Structure 1
Amino acid sequence: MNQIATDITYRKILRLAWPASVAASVTPLLGAVDVWALAQSSRPLDIAAVGLGSVIFSLAYWTFGFIRMSVAGLTAQAAGAEDESEARAVLIRGGLIGGVIGLCLTALQLPIGDFAFLLLGTGSEASAATLNAGREYFEIRIWGAPFALASYAAFGWLTARGRTDFLMIASVFMTVLNIILDYWFVVGLDWGAAGVASGTLIAEIAGFFVAASLVVIVLNDHGGIKCHWNLKDIRDPLRIKRTVAINFDIFVRTLLLAFSFAWFVQRGGAFGDVTLAANQVLLQLFLFTGLALDGTAIAAETLVGQAAGARNRSLAQERYHVAVRKTFILAGIAAVGFVVFYALAGDAIIALLTPEGSIRASTKAFMPWVIISPLIVVIGFQLDGIFIGATRSKEMRDSMIISTMIFIPVSLWLAGRFDNHGLWAAFSLYFLLRAATLAIWLPRIGRSFAT
């Protein structure tokens, strides 16, 4: 046990976690930069338009987040079993799935856009100008879908190979490029929501090629680009069947998660443009917190997946328990740190991101929900990492079904009684329900290592 504990050290977990945290948190950080850029322009209410348009991509991209998750879990298990051929086959399958889905989204952009904005406009007090600007945002950014979704496979594969540093490099590159383009298009050229979309489109395309280049470097470190490729493994019917089953479960799980975020944004629109814009600012901070905490969850994905693939089951079981315990401890410390940070710096952050006036005042009124959010989301995020590494997709799916079924009616009731505070309360309860349901099923994973 001492040897195992020494193998999975806090230093090793941090080496995996901190680059993954940076990589994960730069995505909502980009959303915050979008908000800042629009606040400096002559069209600050386009913040609400980007909120509406981006929720469609959250729904679409998060729905197909199963690509990254399944590739990460299956690759980690293949690496644990020292099966390089299967590790590469997982990469190819994931990349093909992502690229094809992205092409389909691009081809179907007109009916998708019509349907999405019909739903977003139903029961909303958002103005026609806001809805039109949101539609323009969608019509520009959709062209990056094939590149964004194919990148998911590369990101999951790099994570499973323990190269979270490469994951960070690709993500930071995309974000920095997007920030530069945001400033140019939005602040300089005053393109508003269209400028935000254009910057994101270019960054997603460039990011794909950077991620692909980093994958090539890792392939060179594991036998070379030309070695270990086996077409038979890529086409193996049993492995394809397993991949499809895992992907479908995580697809349902992630679709419901993305739908819940979309529902939150849409319900916020019922309180008008100002509240919708304030919720968009706070949602970026909420996502930044959760995804920054996701670093230890990604470390758990890698360590649990490698343990699940190991041939020595006794050793694998011990490694699993050490990985779970130590990643949870680090995640809890990080969550408390974020609570303290937001409590001390919340007003300064809001002042930086919002124009003075009604949007800033509304954002401050609901900031307490963001301050407590690290403690609310940390357990669910950490459990996600464990279940992904163990490829226990069925439990992830069922947990999300239960949580969403409760969240929708509760959000209607609480928002009806307490307005936007009620909506935030229901949203927080939703994340607690996800954690509770996964915790009930966690012992199944530990028992599976004994067989």
Structure 2
Amino acid sequence: MSVAENKPAISYAEILRLAWPASVAASVTPLLGAVDVWALAQSSRPLDIAAIGLGSVIFSLAYWTFGFIRMSVAGLTAQAAGAEDEAEARAALVRGGVIGACIGVALVVLQFPIGLAAFQLLGTGSEASAETLAHGRTYFDIRIWGAPFALASYAAFGWLTARGRTDFLMAASLFMTLLNIGLDYWFVMGLGWGAAGVAYGTLIAEIAGFFAAMAFVLVLLKDHGGVKMHWRPQEFWKAERLSRTVAINFDIFIRTMLLAFCFAWFVQRSGAFGDVTLAANQALLQLFLFTGLALDGTAIAAETLVGRAIGARDRATGKARYVQAVRKTFLLGCIAAVLFTLFYWAAGSPLIALLTPEGPIREDMNAYMPWVIISPLIVVIGFQLDGIFIGATRSREMRDSMIVSAPIFLAASVWLANSWGNHGLWAAFSLYFILRAVTLAIWLPRIARSFDS
């Protein structure tokens, strides 16, 4: 009997143990955005929803662009864990944390030119009012100070995921979200600060979330030999290791920058239809993201399981477990997508009523809600493939997929929006996710073949 046959099979229970906390952790970010929408909708300044839509898109662009920190740390740590190399697993955490903190400090230092350029671009060709743009700038000026903490947290989150402790990831994310919700209520509903209140709540929560994540990292270090063990500082910046880290990070940087730009483009083009449609699209986008990121739980499970399979010393064992991870996470992801679609079909109107009061914003949300209803079926394949490619650290294919898909989306968004208005914009956005899935699926067999080389 082979080593692969002796190795216990990956069970659905193991996948669910990793996936459901990761789903909760991933979905709290758009849930927080939905709470922002709700708080502002109930306040005396409901059109500040459009303002935070403009302001937050800058952070989406920046933070998603630097999402390579979480992804590269997750992939490299999972492979180190599969090879039972504890020192390299810790080195991946240090490299990612230092890179994230340095980028965050650079964003703070360069905040004035970044803000000036970003709001000029967002205001170009937009029908958003001067007041909306001004409140969006206020949101940006406050929240930017949390960048070093938010980006350093990415390394901790990726590391916790790769070590199989998605429960710690969930706990840190929930703590940050619940704190932010409480601060939102106080600052917006209680003090009437509008977009500035949302920004202060997010800033405080991001700083607190960093310290919560690091506390869980310390707990996990104690469980793997102790906090003081397995450190090899001389290898943190070793040329060979650093070169691989930089190469992976650069490819995922390009990929994620294009992804974030496409989301930013969607929001900017929403502004062409006026403040009301911009506010409606911003609110619907939170539901869209909630669905996609909740589905990301099985993708995050795939990151961990695929990474460990790639790192396994016995190639036959690794390939067998890789195939199991791909098939079983795909199946669970697709089941979840169907359930989310049924949920939005049944509960879409009540959710909209919960988020917004009677009026034009609610009317627009109801008109475009069908795109959110079908979104789980559209995004699930691409999200799942992302997890597989991250675990395998196949960053070049992820980059190339986005290079192909993004320009097609940009062209389609202009053409379809001119023909069908905001429905055309949503149609182009959906096409974009389909293209991402198709291109990654074409390159998927390369990973299985790598086990035979």
What TM-score does the superposition give when structure 1 sets the normalisation length?
0.99
* Matching residue of 2:347: 345
* Matching residue of 2:324: 322
Pick from 120, 123, 126 the counterpart of residue 122 of structure 2. 120
Q: Does the alignment pair 1:54 with 2:71?
A: no
**Distance in 2 between residues matched to 1:265 and 1:386, nearest whole Å:** 29
Pick from 2, 22, 30 the counterpart of residue 20 of structure 1. 22
Q: Does the alignment pair 1:97 with 2:99?
A: yes
* Matching residue of 1:212: 214
Deviation at 1:400, TM superposition (A): 0.3
Is the contact between residue 62 and residue 254 of structure 1 (CA under 8 Å) also seen in structure 2? yes
* Matching residue of 1:386: 388
- How far does the alpha carbon of each residue in 1:150-169 deviate from its partner, in whole angstroms, 9 at most, with x for none? 00000000000000000000
Letter in 1 for 2:219: I
**Distance in 1 between residues matched to 2:180 and 2:451, nearest whole Å:** 44
* Matching residue of 1:411: 413
Q: Does the alignment pair 1:186 with 2:188?
A: yes
Is the contact between residue 7 and residue 317 of structure 2 (CA under 8 Å) also seen in structure 1? no
Is the contact between residue 5 and residue 322 of structure 1 (CA under 8 Å) also seen in structure 2? no
* Matching residue of 1:159: 161
**Distance in 1 between residues matched to 2:240 and 2:8, nearest whole Å:** 36
* Matching residue of 2:448: 446
* Matching residue of 1:298: 300
- How far does the alpha carbon of each residue in 1:287-326 deviate from its partner, in whole angstroms, 9 at most, with x for none? 0000000000000000000000001001100000000000
Deviation at 1:5, TM superposition (A): 8.2
**Distance in 2 between residues matched to 1:232 and 1:204, nearest whole Å:** 31
Pick from 121, 140, 143 the counterpart of residue 142 of structure 2. 140
**Distance in 2 between residues matched to 1:148 and 1:210, nearest whole Å:** 12
* Matching residue of 1:38: 40
Letter in 2 for 1:186: V
- How far does the alpha carbon of each residue in 1:400-450 deviate from its partner, in whole angstroms, 9 at most, with x for none? 010001110111000000000000000000000000000000000010011
**Distance in 1 between residues matched to 2:220 and 2:258, nearest whole Å:** 34
Is the contact between residue 413 and residue 425 of structure 2 (CA under 8 Å) also seen in structure 1? yes
Is the contact between residue 4 and residue 318 of structure 1 (CA under 8 Å) also seen in structure 2? no
Name the SS for the 1:7 alignment partner. Answer: coil
Is the contact between residue 136 and residue 193 of structure 1 (CA under 8 Å) also seen in structure 2? yes
Letter in 2 for 1:418: W
**Distance in 2 between residues matched to 1:4 and 1:165, nearest whole Å:** 28
- How far does the alpha carbon of each residue in 1:53-80 deviate from its partner, in whole angstroms, 9 at most, with x for none? 0000000000000000000000000000
- How far does the alpha carbon of each residue in 1:215-259 deviate from its partner, in whole angstroms, 9 at most, with x for none? 000000000000000012212100000000000000000000000
Unaligned runs of 5+ in 1: none
Letter in 1 for 2:26: A
Unaligned runs of 5+ in 2: none
* Matching residue of 1:284: 286
Is the contact between residue 34 and residue 182 of structure 1 (CA under 8 Å) also seen in structure 2? yes
Is the contact between residue 50 and residue 275 of structure 2 (CA under 8 Å) also seen in structure 1? yes
- How far does the alpha carbon of each residue in 1:158-194 deviate from its partner, in whole angstroms, 9 at most, with x for none? 0000000000000000000000000000011110000
**Distance in 2 between residues matched to 1:109 and 1:259, nearest whole Å:** 18
**Distance in 2 between residues matched to 1:202 and 1:7, nearest whole Å:** 43
**Distance in 1 between residues matched to 2:266 and 2:227, nearest whole Å:** 45
Deviation at 1:7, TM superposition (A): 3.0
**Distance in 1 between residues matched to 2:179 and 2:434, nearest whole Å:** 35
* Matching residue of 1:335: 337
Change over 3 Å in CA distance of 1:4–1:263 after alignment to 2: farther
Letter in 2 for 1:417: S
- How far does the alpha carbon of each residue in 1:319-340 deviate from its partner, in whole angstroms, 9 at most, with x for none? 0000000000000000000000
**Distance in 2 between residues matched to 1:133 and 1:238, nearest whole Å:** 47
**Distance in 2 between residues matched to 1:7 and 1:322, nearest whole Å:** 7
| Identity score, percent | 76
**Distance in 1 between residues matched to 2:433 and 2:134, nearest whole Å:** 32
* Matching residue of 1:310: 312
What TM-score does the superposition give when structure 2 sets the normalisation length?
0.99
Deviation at 1:4, TM superposition (A): 6.8
**Distance in 1 between residues matched to 2:366 and 2:42, nearest whole Å:** 19
Name the SS for the 2:245 alignment partner. Answer: helix
**Distance in 2 between residues matched to 1:204 and 1:3, nearest whole Å:** 45
Is the contact between residue 158 and residue 166 of structure 1 (CA under 8 Å) also seen in structure 2? yes
Structure 1: 4+ residue segments shifted above 6 A:
none
Is the contact between residue 39 and residue 184 of structure 2 (CA under 8 Å) also seen in structure 1? yes
Is the contact between residue 302 and residue 329 of structure 2 (CA under 8 Å) also seen in structure 1? yes
Is the contact between residue 5 and residue 317 of structure 2 (CA under 8 Å) also seen in structure 1? no
Name the SS for the 2:45 alignment partner. Answer: coil
Name the SS for the 1:293 alignment partner. Answer: helix
**Distance in 2 between residues matched to 1:418 and 1:307, nearest whole Å:** 47
Letter in 1 for 2:306: V
Query: 1:240-251 alignment to 2 at 5 Å?
Result: 240-251=242-253
Is the contact between residue 378 and residue 433 of structure 2 (CA under 8 Å) also seen in structure 1? yes
* Matching residue of 1:264: 266
